[in-house]
């Protein structure tokens, strides 16, 4: 890779200082490892826990070392192996995780693997480190499996709120404080407050147990066996120990859950890898239990000795990236050389896992799950490259790497091994790759996005100018989505699809929602007005559809949803071009459905009646005055009704988009109807559909004889 591609320079808002993103793995040793690595920069104060400096955010080395050394013995490999035995914390939690997966499979009920992984992770982290299980796996077990699908881990709203602010963490602290305060205000909710209170009570309880152990009142929980207890032993205050304990729950539970869900997702979709891993696990267990076998049972007790399992977990960590952003440091007085470039003292530098883990020169086919690349002895299928190991920084690097990485990896190894060995993934399939692209927002788009986000999907929302809706952008991105600028009338707009795919954002569901009407008779609409409507509602969506199909075809999965209108069936005067654009796309979609069906791609046309969106209030009217001959006509009355605000839709957009969501994912009203291609919504649609039926039937009644008598004479 050319040097200039390995350095990206960003203004750092501090005089002439700059922040440099380095995607050259040769720089990792100097920045993070040699001589304890470069010091952290001031932006890490963004991660302080109010007045408490966390182990992660500490810039003062001595401050950090006092706390890190106190808890380090808890992460010793030998201790973790004991916890992984059948009756150990990790072993028991992994077994319960498998049992719950099996229950969902037996009942043929879909399971939210991210949520279930979060329940497992928070239980492992809390019981192993804090001495008491949070109870994530046990929550909601009194409900039926169908009802449990609608519930989520109680700690998640607060954890998500904390995780969400990390997108601002690269900002200088003075800007961060303002943005974070605003974001917190936007995203605050009763659900977050309840989640916070429950987690706070849990931390208070484990702190009480730790204080009792410290005072010798709790012989069952030695003070040196817990994270908070060891902090108290070295003189850390109760307040700080509680805050540090809360931080380790945030850091450990969420990121490990995402990594586990990533690995299991890929194993579901890669039967070959799953079968190979199962053979390795079974052979290891057989060797360990063979009588008089001279080989030790290390392979059974330590899954990290299994080559292919190790490859699967490493590939999952590469793709999942616990922290994809730059891990920033300050260049010391000696400066830093990256290739032929010298960076002066004081420059903020950092390497990002996202850049390093997806470097095509180091990881061929970088966005594909290919565990074989990590194998040795010629089993790598030509994928292994010399710099792979040093380009992997899922937990950071050097002495300031993630303090809990050993626990995270142990949980991943044990759980993946248990899940694959149980064969519970056999016959499983993913509903989709949980990335959706919703094009334009007018009310329908936002409602559908909220349904998708609530359902655990990732949403990529687009609009012409995201800066005009900062609150909506914050809402979507705060829940794990993404918002990008897109003008569908731009002839190059389809490039956004390829760019997203190249960056790893696979689009499995495309929703075309753009639409507006110029209210004017067909005869008076100008050429520019006509073309603008057609670009927005016909050519623009077609560009995106044509761009996304090759990617969906390659993956043998995809859903294309086009929001149409009752006007496409039976339009009102003054909406001719709107009706024509929607009807045109509907016609193309009907043919498209037949073309892409062999590739497991389906289409859904949603024919909408009148709903409470912003469309009537943002109506556009023709620039050419209405000719006098239209005076008193239905066309004039229609335009006047829109202008005066007398037109009051009676449809609820939120209910409609809930129905769309359920039909797309096959839940609720959509269960068993995944193959349907047309979804009419709105009370007025029943009348319109009947009108069209009568219109067609009448034509056959009148002209039926001639219809069947225009053939060539034999």
d(CA 424, CA 570): 50
Q: What is the pLDDT of residue 92?
A: 97
Question: pLDDT at residue 215 above 80?
Answer: no
| Confidence at residue 73, expressed as pLDDT on a 0 to 100 scale | 94
Rounded CA separation 56/395 (Å)? 12
Mean pLDDT value across residues 170-199: 63
Average pLDDT over residues 619-624: 82
Calpha distance 324→547 (Å, rounded): 27
578 touches 533 (CB < 8 A): yes
Q: How confident is the model at residue 615, as a pLDDT?
A: 54
CA distance 581 to 521: 15
- Does the pLDDT at position 289 exceed 70? yes
Give which of 71, 115, 133 is closest to 407, Cα–Cα. Answer: 71
CA–CA dist 415, 45 (Å, integer): 34
d(CA 362, CA 350): 19
Using 50, 70 and 90 to split pLDDT, how confident is the model at 627? very high
pLDDT at 12 over 60: no
| Predicted local distance difference test score (pLDDT) of residue 74 | 95
Mean pLDDT, residues 684-698 taken together: 86
Going 436 to 441 to 442 to 447, the CA torsion angle's sign is positive
Q: What pLDDT is attached to residue 674?
A: 83
CA 240 to chain CA centroid, Å, is 32
- Structural domains for the chain: 1-37+326-393 (no CATH), 38-322+394-422 (1.10.630.10), 444-708 (3.40.50.720)
Q: In whole angstroms, give the CA distance from residue 514 to residue 439.
A: 7
pTM assigned to the model: 0.62
DSSP 8-state assignment for residue 337: E
> Is residue 182 pLDDT above 50, yes or no?
no
C-beta separation of 273 from 245 below 8 A: no
H or E segment and range at residue 454? helix 444-454
The CA-CA-CA angle for residues 47, 401, 482, to 5°, reads 55
- The alpha carbon dihedral of 488, 493, 494, 500 has a sign of negative
Average pLDDT over residues 366-381: 88
Alpha carbon dihedral 207, 211, 213, 216, in 10-degree steps, equals: -170
Band (302; pLDDT cuts 50, 70, 90): confident
pLDDT in tens, 425-455: 998 887 654 434 333 445 688 888 888 888 8
First to last CA, the chain: 71
| Cα 545 from Cα 541, distance rounded (Å) | 6
CA dist 597 and 291 (Å) reads 55
pLDDT at 439: 39
pLDDT at 561 over 90: yes
The Cα 227–Cα 248 span in angstroms is: 9
CA dihedral 297, 301, 307, 312 (to 10 degrees): 160
d(CA 115, CA 194): 18
Q: Which of the two residues, 128 and 10, has the higher pLDDT score? A: 128
Chain segment 193-203, per-residue pLDDT in tens:
788 888 889 99
Residue 434 confidence (pLDDT): 44
* Residue 645 pLDDT class (50, 70, 90 cuts): low
- Largest alpha-carbon pair distance within the chain? 106
DSSP string, 95-136: HHHHHHHHHHHHTT----HHHHHHHHHHHHHIIIIISS---T
Spell out the alpha helix ranges (H) of 510-566: 527-534, 540-555
Backbone angles phi, psi at 439, to 5 degrees: -100, 115
- pLDDT score, position 124: 97
Helices within 485-633 (DSSP H only):
495-502, 527-534, 540-555, 567-570, 576-596
Average pLDDT estimate for 323-339: 89
Q: How confident is the model at residue 297 (pLDDT cuts 50, 70, 90)?
A: very low
What pLDDT is stored for residue 16 in this prediction? 37
Give the model's confidence band at 257: pLDDT under 50 very low, under 70 low, under 90 confident, else very high.
very high
pLDDT digits (tens, 9 = 90+) for 591-610: 999 999 999 999 999 998 87
At 441 the pLDDT is 44
User: Given the DSSP bridges, would you call strands 601-608 and 678-681 parallel, antiparallel or unpaired?
Assistant: parallel
**Residues 418, 86 contacting (CB under 8 angstroms):** no
- Name which of 170-184, 262-276, 541-555 the model is least confident about: 170-184
Who's near 225: CB < 8 A, 6+ residues apart? 131, 213
Residue 27 CA to residue 390 CA, distance in Å, equals 10
**Cα torsion angle, 358, 360, 363, 369, sign:** positive
Using one digit for the tens of pLDDT, what is the confidence trace for 22-69?
A: 888 999 999 999 999 999 988 888 777 778 888 888 888 899 999 999
Top mean pLDDT of 31-35, 292-296, 438-442, 640-644 is at 31-35
Is the model's pLDDT at 363 over the cut of 80?
Answer: yes
Query: Taking phi first (over 0 means left), then psi (-120 to 50 degrees means alpha), and beta for anything else, what does residue 553 get?
Result: alpha
pLDDT of residue 181: 53
Determine the pLDDT at residue 218: 54
The 10s digit of each residue's pLDDT in 468-505 is 677 788 888 888 888 888 888 888 888 889 888 888 88
pLDDT tens per residue, range 340-360: 888 899 999 999 888 899 888
Q: Is the predicted pLDDT of residue 321 greater than 50, yes or no?
A: yes
Residues forming the active site: 564, 578, 582
Least confident of 139-148, 226-235, 557-566, 612-621: 612-621
Q: What is the mean pLDDT of the chain?
A: 84
């Amino acid at each position: 890779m050319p040097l200039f591609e390995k350095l990206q320079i960003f203004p750092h808002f501090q005089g002439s200082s700059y922040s440099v993103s380095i995607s050259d793995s040769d720089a990792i040793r100097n920045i993070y490892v040699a001589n304890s690595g470069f010091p952290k920069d001031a932006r890490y104060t963004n991660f302080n826990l109010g007045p408490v400096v966390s182990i992660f955010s500490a810039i003062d080395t001595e401050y950090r070392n006092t706390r890190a050394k106190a808890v380090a013995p808890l992460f010793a490999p030998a201790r973790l192996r004991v916890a992984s035995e059948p009756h150990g914390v990790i072993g028991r939690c992994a077994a319960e995780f498998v049992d719950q997966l099996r229950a969902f499979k037996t009942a043929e009920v879909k399971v939210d693997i991210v949520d279930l992984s979060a329940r497992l992770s928070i239980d492992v982290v809390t019981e192993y480190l804090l001495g008491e299980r949070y109870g994530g796996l046990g929550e909601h077990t009194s409900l039926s499996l169908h009802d449990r699908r609608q519930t989520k881990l109680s700690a998640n709203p607060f954890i998500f709120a904390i995780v969400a602010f990390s997108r601002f963490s690269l900002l200088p602290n003075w800007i961060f404080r303002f943005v974070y305060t605003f974001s917190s205000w936007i995203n605050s909710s009763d659900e977050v407050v309840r989640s916070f209170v429950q987690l706070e009570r849990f931390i208070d309880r484990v702190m009480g147990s730790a204080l009792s152990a410290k005072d010798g009142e709790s012989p069952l929980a030695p003070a040196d066996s817990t994270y908070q207890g060891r902090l108290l032993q070295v003189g850390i205050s109760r307040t700080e120990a509680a805050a540090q304990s809360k931080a380790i729950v945030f850091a450990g539970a969420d990121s490990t859950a995402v990594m586990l869900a990533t690995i299991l997702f890929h194993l579901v979709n890669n039967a070959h890898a799953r079968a190979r891993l199962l053979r390795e696990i079974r052979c290891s267990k057989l060797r360990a239990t063979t009588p008089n076998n001279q080989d030790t049972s290390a392979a059974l007790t330590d899954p990290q000795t299994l080559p292919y399992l190790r490859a699967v977990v490493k590939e999952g960590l590469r793709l999942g990236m616990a922290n994809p952003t730059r891990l920033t440091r300050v260049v010391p007085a000696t400066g830093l050389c990256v290739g032929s470039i010298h960076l002066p003292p004081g420059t903020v530098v950092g390497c990002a896992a996202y850049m390093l883990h997806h470097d095509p020169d180091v990881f061929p086919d970088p966005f594909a799950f290919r565990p074989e690349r990590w194998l040795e002895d010629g089993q790598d299928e030509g994928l292994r490259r010399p710099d792979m190991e040093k380009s992997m920084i899922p937990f950071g690097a050097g002495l300031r790497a993630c303090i809990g990485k050993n626990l995270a990896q142990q949980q991943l190894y044990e759980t993946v091994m248990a899940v694959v060995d149980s064969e519970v993934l056999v016959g499983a399939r993913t509903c989709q790759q949980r990335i959706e692209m919703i094009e334009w927002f007018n009310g329908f788009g936002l409602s559908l996005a909220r349904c998708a986000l609530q359902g655990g999907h990732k949403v990529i929302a687009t609009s012409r100018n995201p800066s005009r809706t900062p609150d909506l952008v914050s809402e979507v991105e705060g829940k794990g989505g993404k918002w990008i600028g897109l003008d569908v009338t731009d002839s190059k707009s389809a490039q956004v699809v390829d760019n997203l795919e190249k960056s790893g954002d696979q689009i499995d569901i495309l929703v075309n929602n753009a639409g507006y009407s110029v209210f004017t008779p067909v005869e008076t609409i100008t050429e520019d007005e006509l073309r603008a409507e057609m670009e927005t509602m016909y050519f623009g969506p077609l560009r995106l559809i044509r761009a996304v199909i090759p990617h969906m075809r390659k993956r043998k999965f995809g859903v294309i949803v086009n929001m149409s209108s009752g006007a496409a069936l039976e339009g009102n005067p003054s909406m001719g071009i709107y009706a024509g654009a929607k009807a045109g796309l509907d016609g193309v979609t009907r043919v498209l459905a037949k073309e892409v069906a062999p590739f497991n791609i389906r289409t859904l046309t949603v024919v909408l009646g009148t709903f409470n969106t912003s469309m009537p209030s943002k109506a556009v009217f023709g620039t050419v005055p209405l000719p006098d001959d239209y005076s008193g006509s239905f066309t004039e009355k229609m335009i006047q009704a829109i202008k005066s605000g007398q037109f009051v839709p009676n449809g609820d957009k939120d209910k409609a988009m809930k129905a769309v969501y359920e039909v797309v994912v096959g839940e609720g009203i959509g269960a068993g109807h995944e193959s349907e291609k047309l979804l009419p919504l709105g009370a007025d649609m029943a009348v319109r559909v009947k009108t069209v039926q009568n219109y067609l039937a009448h034509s056959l009644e009148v002209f039926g004889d001639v219809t069947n008598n225009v053939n060539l004479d034999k």
